[in-house]
Every structure is written in C-alpha cells, then in structure tokens.
Chain A
Amino acid sequence: MSNRKNHEPLVHISKRDGMTFKKALIIRIGAIAAALILCAIITMIFTGENPFGIYGAMAAGAFGSVRKTWITFQNVSILLLIALALTPAFKMRFWNIGGEGQVLIGGLAAATCMLKLGDKVPNGILILIMFAASVLAGGIWSVIPAIFKAKWNTNETLSTLMMNYIATQLVAFFTVLWEVPKGSGKIGIINQDTNAGWLPNLFGSGFSGSKYLLTIIFAVIITAGMFIYLAFSKQGYEIAVVGESVNTARYVGINVEKVIIRTVFISGAICGLVGLLLVGGINHTLTTTIAGGQGFTAVMVSWLAKFNPFIMILASLLIVFLSRGAGEVATNFGLNQSFSDILTGIILFFIIGCEFFISYKISFRRGGHKK
C-alpha cells in the first residue's frame, strides 16, 4: 500500500467541478493583464518604444475615427458570422473546418451571377438570385462531406479541409477566365459602372455607416437567431443530443443521418451568405484570398466562446481589434507588421491558456503520510 503511495505523481490534473462566474472572470481579467504586461516588457526590450504608445495606436487603429469604427464592426460581423455558421456543426461534434471553402464558393456563386446576369435582369431580382445561389452553393459545399459522414462515417475533418482546396482552385480558375486586362490574374471590381448586383448601402450616402451597416445587421439577426435555434428549438436540442452521444440519439428515435446533413447544410449556407456579403456587399470582386483565412480563425472564435453566440461577439471583437490595431502600429512606429502579430500571439496564448485553468485543477503531491 505504502509503496503505491510513492507512485502518486508530483503533479495531478483533474477536472474542476465548476467555478463561480466571478472567480472565472477574475482569472480571465488576470490573464489579459498578464499578457499585456508581458507584451509591454517585450516591446521595450526589442523596440525601445513606449508600450502604452503601442496600445494607444492599436486602439486608434480600430476606433480612431468614425469610419474606422464602422469598418471594425463590419469586420467583426464577418468573422462572427463565420463562427456562428460553424457552431451548430461543432455542437454536434462535426468538425467543419471547411468554412474558408464554403465562404469562397458562396462568393464565387455571387460573382458569377453579377458577371453573367448583371445586364440581363433588374437589380432587385439579381440580388435575390445571388442570395439564393450563394446560400445554396455554401450549403452544397458543406453537405458533400456531411453525406459521406452520415452514410459511411468518413472523417469530416479531412474532407471539409480538402473541400477548401478545391474551392480555392475553382476560384483561381475563374479568376484567370474572367481576368481584365488579359493575363493580369485580376477580375477587378465587378460592374463598377452599373453597380449591378451590389448590395444596397443603407440610409443613403449622408449616413456615415451606410456602406457598412448591412453586414452588421445580418450579423445581429443571425446571432440572435442562432442563439434561439440552438437553445430553444427542437432541432437545436437534436443537435445537442447527437453531439453528446450518437447512440443515445438513435435510442430516443432521432434520425441521426438527417440531423447531420441538415445541420451541416445550415452551417455551409451561412458561410455561403458570408461569401455573398464579401463579394456583393463589401469587395465587389473575387479573389482566392477574399476569405482571408477567417474560415479558420472562426474555429478559434467559436471554441473560445464555448459555442455561446453572445460570447462570440466579444471573441470576434478581440481578434479584429488586435489585427486592425496591428496595421496602425506598423504605420505609426515603422515596425514590421510581424511585431504586432507577435503581440497578438502572446495575448491569444494567455487567453486560451487561462481557459485551461478554469476548466482544470492542478494539484501537487502533498508531503507526509496522511493515512
């Protein structure tokens, strides 16, 4: 007996039963403070700049003017929408990391409509067609791996990831097909003269946010909708049950295949909608990098928020704030953008790290023999 006691490990990690909201909040604030202090020290050692100046520049980069603030919220909306799109799939333990490709294919559908139907149908109808095409394209792109998962239990992590590459190559192909001028590899702004297929600017040009508001409104509606869908609808409950245990779901009579396909379609459809917003509403062009890796960043946003749509707003805001701040730091201090990326990395490391300490308890072996 005593022999076995000696084998008790020095460090022992166990799951916490639960922590009060207040205590968890204190840990999170502490982590951010620690990250900021470490960033300040690193900044002073490597650049000699005043860290408060750098933090100030970051804030100015995100909120320094009315327009900057609108753009920040627009970018938050896009990232948030992708994270919301991935969430129902994640809750069902379907690892959809194909958000990037689903956004791209939605954008490709929108661009195709703008280019091919731009001068053929009235603008209102064109936008409706674009909406349907993008949502459907994103949905189909995600449903292909879902069908394989539902029918033959293939690994969706791999298949959704691979679908990203196919989408990127398709967009690359059509970019070369539609490039102007010849050989340039760029489509340029689509329908720049007619604005056909451009999503509307709300409240006219007198309103400072008219270019940016539509995306934000979509994000607000879908955030609330997703919260209600996951927390209060029958389908949301089915998702949770399938995620907990497929066998339990089958036992209580849930058609697991149907739930997987339906949920993943919703996931892809919202990504497709983001493609529409990016192409028809924001950029008015199509490039292979239009999603800018946000399909992957959104995975982190969704997880960081533990699939809670409202916390996702904060997580998206944090990431967009850091990236927009990084650009301003690069401009104001003549530092390479990579330096800001280092700071962003440190801050995210601390925030993700503190989640570990909230979920788990670390106990050290006690000295002496207590029974």
Chain B
Amino acid sequence: MKKFSKIAALALAAVSAISLCACGSSSSTGSSAEGTSGLKAGFICLHDENSTYDLNFINAAKAACDKLGVECVIKTNIPEGQEAYDTAVDLADAGCDFVFADSFGHEDFIIEAAKEYPDIQFAHATGTKAHTENLSNFHNAFSEIYNGRYLAGIAAGMKLNEMIENGQITADQAKMGYVGAFTYAEVISGYTSFYLGAKSVCPTVTMEVTFTGSWYDETAEKTGAQTLIDDGCVLISQHADSMGAPTACETAGVPDVSYNGSTASACPNTFIVSSRINWEPYFEYCLNSIAAGEAIATDWCGTLADGSVVLTDFGAAAAEGTVDAVEAAKAKLISGELHVFDTATFTVGGAKLDSYMADVDSDADYTPDHEAIVDGYFNESGDGLRSAPFFDLQIDGITLLDTAF
C-alpha cells in the first residue's frame, strides 16, 4: 500500500512537473533553503490522497517543503468541525510555524485557532473571511482558476467545433454538461468561465448544470454526469472532487474536461484536459515570508503568470489546433488584453451588465456590498477584494437543472 502510494505520488509529481513546463511557467520565487530550514509546516486536509482535490494540496505541500528544507506534517481526513480546530492547535503545540487548512468548512475553526496562537501563521484555502476578520496571523488564499477554466473551456469549444465539422452533431446540438457540487460562487464562477471559454470559439454552445450537494460523492457525480449525457450533452466537465464524472464519460464515450489533475490514465479515450491550482507557489511564498519575518498577504490570489493556475497535458481526445488556441488565449489573459468576464461576451436576463453589487463580505443575509464591474468586466477576485471567487450571476446560455443545494 505504502509502496503503491509512493509510486503514485512520484508519478503525479512527475506529471505536475511536466504540466508546469508545458505552461512555460516557473514557480520559483527566488527562494533560498537556508532561511526556511528549521521551519515546520502543518497541513490539514479534509480527505486523503484518494481525493483529487486533497492530493493536489498534498503534492504541493511535499514539493514546497522538500524544496525549502521545511519539516512537513500532513494531517488527513480532518472533518469540517471542531476536529479542524483541535488539529490546528495540536500542530501549533507541536511547534509548527505555519498551519494550513485546505477545505472551505475548516475556515471558522482555523480562525479560532489563530486567535489562540497569535504568533503562528495560519492560512486557509478557498476561505472568505480573512479580509473582514482583522487577524494579522490569519490569511486566505485562492488562485485565478477562472482563467484556467476559461482555457479548458477553449479546449472544450475546439472539441465541439471538431464534432460539428465531422458531422457528429449540428451546431445547435453543441450542448455541454457540468457536474457541480453546490450553487456556491466558487462553482458558479468556475462553470461560467468554462462556458465563456467554450463560447469564445464555438458561439452556438449551450450548457446544462447539475449539482450533487457534496464536494466528494463519487456515486452522485457519476449519476449526475450520466443524467447530463442522457439529456443530450455531448461534452462533460465538473467541479467536484471524485472520479465519478470522468468515469461515466469514459464508459459512455463522451469527451471530458476534468478538474484538479489529469484523468488520462483512467480515461484514455475521453480525456481532453484538466485545469488545476498549483499551490506550490503559495506555500513557498508563505514559508519564505515567515523565514524573512515579513507579513503574509491577507488575501493572496495566484495567477497564470506565477504558475499557480495550470493546465495538464492534453489528452488524446483533444481536437487538432487546441494547443495553439489555448496558448494564444493564455498570452492575452496574462497581458490583460483579454478578460474572462468581459461584459461584452455575456448577458444576464437578455441584458448587458453595467453594474453589479457582489456579496464579498460574508454575512448571514448575503448583503451585496461591493461593486464588481470595473472597466467593462467583472473583476473576479480583484485586488482589494477577497481572493475566493464571488461571481454568482446566472448568465444566458447556461441552464441549471436543479438548484436544491
């Protein structure tokens, strides 16, 4: 078992290294192993390496700690309850200088721990509260994954175009399906950017979305994907963490854009590409900051340029010319020439959007509090706002099959 997981970890590390190179980005932040050696970092994961989401964090944590000579403690299967607090303070007791938690529901419990240990730096991925909590040792982090989703969407659109050209479907039948976890802004931002990417190359595309009500539910994700396929969707993508949707696609022979990492080995015939966040740059940034005695940003948002947002290698199912189209769009996104949520490219309720107040500061009444439309585009995860996505608009062309969650 251990041998197997070691081999798997090595293989995945290799894959991620390759995918980094493929994107032509470097994750080096000018670090030196000297300042950081002797530090100890603790990582709290909701599941273990069987979840693609957690595996992505685990690999990045190990890689960053190895590179910087930092002692690495990884706690897996920590639920989103008081156990998260218990684990965080336990890591603090054990001498960790940096404690990181990977799941949305961990946040409040990590805040409790941060209040109790003001000298230790706590960071939390996907959280929304650091900018309103006013704790100098509690930080949120995310990455502009909507850019990655957009690029993956271009790959999907290219595939649709190929299917139209081959006469497999008509232009009107270019309908994609998306398996989401919750009707949460992070998911909405993700599927909307994916859709807009596809639409940028295949104008007739539409999309249907279904929600599972869980971040990890293999059966529900598989069933959801199958429902979409039965409903006439000719390409599937997902924002949920299991192999459910990719496996359903492989069985049905439907092309698939996965998330969090390549599913090419399990789904060789249908895998197109996967976008993911590479957390290594963030971990290195935090550990270097601690070593240098510098403050860690309250909200940190990784980008395509710094190597935080990456695409895996393209699978056999990818259409011809996809690499070039994606690279071209990537360059434009990095230069700022292109914005994913450009209000000229989508409508809400048939109308163009000129102003939208987003719910950036979390509160029980979901009060809209910040203007999100800046210079003609929706300023997702913009500077001065929070790093976690807050795009929660229902744009035209996307149909939600259910909104129970």
Jot down 5 A-B pairs with beta carbons below 8 A, ordered by A. A180-B366, A188-B105, A189-B111, A330-B48, A336-B5
Distance of A334 Cα from B405 Cα, bound (Å): 35
Q: Which residues of chain A come closer than 8 Å to B86, judged between CB atoms?
A: 67, 71
- In order of increasing CB-CB distance, the 6 nearest A-B pairs are A183-B184, A189-B108, A183-B183, A283-B82, A283-B81, A185-B182
Distance of A330 Cα from B73 Cα, bound (Å): 11
Which of B2, B73, B74 touches A47 (beta carbons < 8 Å)?
A: B2
Contact, CB under 8 Å: A183 / B182: yes
Contact, CB under 8 Å: B364 / A180: yes
* Contact surface of B with A, Cβ cutoff 8 Å: 1-2, 5-6, 48-50, 73-77, 79-82, 86, 89-90, 93-94, 104-105, 107-109, 111-112, 128, 181-185, 187-188, 213, 359, 362-364, 366, 392, 404-405
A282 within 8 A of partner (CB): yes
A287 within 8 A of partner (CB): yes
Q: Which residues of chain B come closer than 8 Å to A48, judged between CB atoms?
A: 2
Distance of A45 Cα from B86 Cα, bound (Å): 33
> In residues 274-323 of chain A, which contact B (Cβ within 8 Å)?
282-285, 287, 289-290, 292
Contact, CB under 8 Å: B359 / A182: yes
Contact, CB under 8 Å: B90 / A183: no
Q: Which residues of chain A come closer than 8 Å to B108, judged between CB atoms?
A: 188-189, 192, 285
Closest beta carbon of chain A to B216's beta carbon, Å: 12
Q: Which residues of chain B come closer than 8 Å to A284, judged between CB atoms?
A: 82
Contact flag A189-B76 (CB < 8 Å), given A67-B89, A181-B362, A335-B2: no
Residues of A in contact (CB 8 Å), total 38
Closest beta carbon of chain A to B238's beta carbon, Å: 17
Contact, CB under 8 Å: A287 / B182: no
Q: Nearest CB to that of A292 among chain B residues?
A: B79
Contact, CB under 8 Å: B362 / A180: yes
Contact, CB under 8 Å: A47 / B1: yes
Distance of A49 Cα from B3 Cα, bound (Å): 12
Closest beta carbon of chain B to A215's beta carbon, Å: 11
Distance of A349 Cα from B317 Cα, bound (Å): 49
Closest beta carbon of chain B to A74's beta carbon, Å: 9
Distance of A186 Cα from B183 Cα, bound (Å): 12
Q: Which residues of chain B come closer than 8 Å to A68, judged between CB atoms?
A: 90
Which of B2, B77, B93 touches A333 (beta carbons < 8 Å)?
A: B2
Which of B1, B74, B82, B89 touches A336 (beta carbons < 8 Å)?
A: B1
Distance of A339 Cα from B90 Cα, bound (Å): 23
